[in-house]
Structure 1
């Protein structure tokens, strides 16, 4: 991307193209751009395993929930203790590639000109306005998508996992799932009978529905039968 911008600067057909390429080149070689790239590399390094697991059809839910938990812990550790190491790595990268490093104690300026000065220092801008805000945003998204109720629902759903010959099957968890999350789908009498019905189910289902390894396959088979 940087090389492409340099090529357009030298060989662009119009002044406008060369000007846009020059602005892009300056941005790509700025301390702030490099800082953000390093920060995103850190965050994506933490969350990538979770993202891959959630997209895998063979991923078991309990392991995915474990990865959610560990991702939150690692993000919190980065927030608490990762600032100094990240800043040092960014500085080393900038020194290696001859990119100007700002004085962190200086006042942060928005663009050019004294009229756009702010009331915060460079270290405040990079640590508070970028570093902490980005990490907090990522943690907020994880907490929103995987709140306590959602995690419990997913955990209880694993009891229907047909893999390993229905190893995770648990009658009490299924009854709790029906009572807590699907109360409108079962009458009171049906919920009372459910426990007895499930005792027959666990004996019959491994024999009737063989070679089924995922919850989605089980649901399709139940509808067909």
Structure 2
């Protein structure tokens, strides 16, 4: 029950090898940026380490750490002019994507329903085993109909896992597995409803089933699958132990370009896939040209006469993708990208083939006067 700072040093030794080691804990009375700065400086001074020798600082994305005006990184930068703050790329990406899911109301509601589906489906060992059996039978049926390819490693029995907020890849795996196991999950929820021993379990199972089999849920399920598939490769690359900075930044730019392309050209294809999926799973398809009526008692007061297509296209499809792009641009700012790009000119591998005198001149001019 104590507030602590964990200090880790990263440095280059006399032989040119990068070292990273745990240095110590610092107990602090609160997490105000000034308090954290005093604690950090106190620890360094105890070991006769000069503050001016700090060349880089990295923290999480909390406002007291990364704040542009009063954050710890700015306070340190005032004393150490070249101690630039770089937030972990993988963590930046997770925060950007998770934050987006909470800002767009329908997307946030989708993830709440998704958690209810997982909770209800795995409410007991019986339902868990039932899901595996139903899924295995469904795979066998599709193989008999020659709708699934067969081969080594294919058609494994899936499970639905609870997503981890700080690991966006877990969200992608969950969404992908739910799409593969959709029929099996619906069947298990119906069995839970029929076998429910009390009203509470029955109500939960009915709510999960109704949410799962709604057009909006299926639409957002496919939307999230498409966008997560674009960002998943970037997620994996940014979590590599050995990181090629230039490759990571190139992949980041490519990812943003692909997301933008999906926004510009992906609506028609996505809607076609969703409608086909709904037809195959007997889910009611909405009339896109019908008037959209808001929920929660807003129908009588609704001023805008908009169609259902407008709601799904503008309020969900565009809103989700635009928020994602905005967050990615905010989290991965141009200054940090430029600093890392120019610093890569110092890469010693392959006999200094990456050495570029023009980039080193720009590095000095822009960052190390």
Report the TM-score when normalising by structure 1: 0.73
Matched, 1:145 2:331: yes
> For residues 12 and 161 of structure 1, what CA distance do their matches in structure 2 show?
63
Question: Which residue of the other structure, out of 146, 149, 168, is the alignment partner of 2:354?
Answer: 168
**3-state DSSP class of the match of 2:292?**
strand
- What does residue 75 of structure 1 align with? 259
Deviation at 1:19, TM superposition (A): 0.7
**Distance in 2, Cα, partners of 1:117 & 1:24:** 29
1:124 pairs with 2:310: yes
1:31 aligns to what? 215
1:82 Cα deviation after fit: 0.8
1:5 aligns with 2:196: no
**Distance verdict in 2 for CA 1:154–1:9, change over 3 Å:** same
Q: Which residue of 1 aligns with 2:242?
A: 58
Q: Distance in 1 between matches of 2:252 and 2:335?
A: 14
> Within 2, Cα distance between the matches of 1:182 and 1:18?
65
Counterpart CA distance in 1 for 2:196 and 2:368 is 63
Q: Distance in 2 between matches of 1:140 and 1:53?
A: 21
Q: TM-score, normalised by structure 2?
A: 0.46
Alignment partner, residue 134 of structure 1: 320
Structure 1's 114 and 62: CA in aligned 2 closer, same or farther, altered over 3 A?
closer
Q: CA offsets, 1:83-124, max 9 Å, x none?
A: 011001000000000000011111223348784674322001
The whole-number CA distance in structure 1 between the counterparts of 2:322 and 2:298 is 31
Q: Deviations over 1:39-83 (max 9, x none)?
A: 111111111111111111233111111111211221111111110
1:102 is paired with a residue whose SS is: coil
Equivalents in 1 of 2:268, 2:356: separation in Å? 48
The Cα of 1:8 is off from its aligned counterpart by: 2.7
Which one of the candidate residues 221, 232, 245 is aligned to 1:48? 232
Q: Does 1:97 align with 2:301?
A: no
Instruction: Give the conservation status (yes or no) of the 8 Å contact 1:46–1:74.
Output: yes
Structure-to-structure mapping, 1:174-213, within 5 angstroms: 174-183=360-369
CA gap of 1:82–1:117, structure 2 versus 1, over 3 A, is: farther
Does the CA-based 8 Å contact 1:106-1:121 persist in structure 2? yes
User: Structure 2 CA distance, aligned partners of 1:33 and 1:117?
Assistant: 25
Deviation at 1:168, TM superposition (A): 1.8
Long gaps (5+) in structure 2:
1-120, 122-184
Map of 2:205 onto structure 1: 21
Map 1:204-223 onto structure 2 (within 5 A): none
Seen in structure 2, the aligned counterparts of structure 1 residues 106 and 95 have a Cα distance that, compared at 3 Å, is same
Q: How far apart in 2 are the matches of 1:29 and 1:182?
A: 58
- The Cα shift of 1:178 comes to 4.0
Question: Gaps spanning 5+ residues in structure 1: where?
Answer: 184-225
Shift of residue 164, structure 1, vs aligned partner: 2.2
Q: Quick one: distance in 2 between partners of 1:153 and 1:51?
A: 21
CA shift, 1:145, in A, is: 2.2
